[in-house]
Amino acid sequence: MKLITAVVKPHKLDEIKEALQAFGVHGLTVTEASGYGRQRGHTEVYRGAEYTVDLVPKIRIEVLVDDADADQLIEVVVSAARTGKIGDGKVWAVPVETAVRVRTGERGPDAL
């Protein structure tokens, strides 16, 4: 199994959710995150004083998938999240040792 994590622009969440549902993903976890990549933050002006806001709001989406589906799922997330402008975010995958469905106690891919 793999854990796919995507840190993306907040307004892309709905598109990504729909794309994942269409792909057959049954569940995901979303957290509000903040950070910066190459786009850095942005500047705000209050009574002439400039403030650099380093951390911009992002959404972090986490999905557990079977190894076989991982590459394709990454592709689905990436294409749904892309605007082509700087600040679109990152998607990565890490191996997961095990997963358990709390209600039934099923383990491994059966738990997904």
Q: What is d(CA 98, CA 32) in angstroms, rounded to the nearest whole number?
A: 25
Residues 54 and 16 sit within 8 Å (Cβ to Cβ): no
Instruction: Give 41 or 109: the residue with its C-beta nearer to another protein.
Output: 41
Q: Which stretch binds another protein (CB under 8 A): 41-49, 56-64, 77-85, 90-98?
A: 41-49
Q: What is d(CA 14, CA 32) in angstroms, rounded to the nearest whole number?
A: 14
Give the 3-state secondary structure of residue 80. Answer: helix
Sole binder of another protein in the list 27, 32, 38, 48 (CB under 8 A): 48
Instruction: Give 24 or 57: the residue with its C-beta nearer to another protein.
Output: 57
Sole binder of another protein in the list 14, 22, 24, 44 (CB under 8 A): 44
Instruction: Give 41 or 108: the residue with its C-beta nearer to another protein.
Output: 41
Q: What is d(CA 92, CA 84) in angstroms, rounded to the nearest whole number?
A: 18
Give residues in contact with another protein (CB under 8 A).
Answer: 44-53
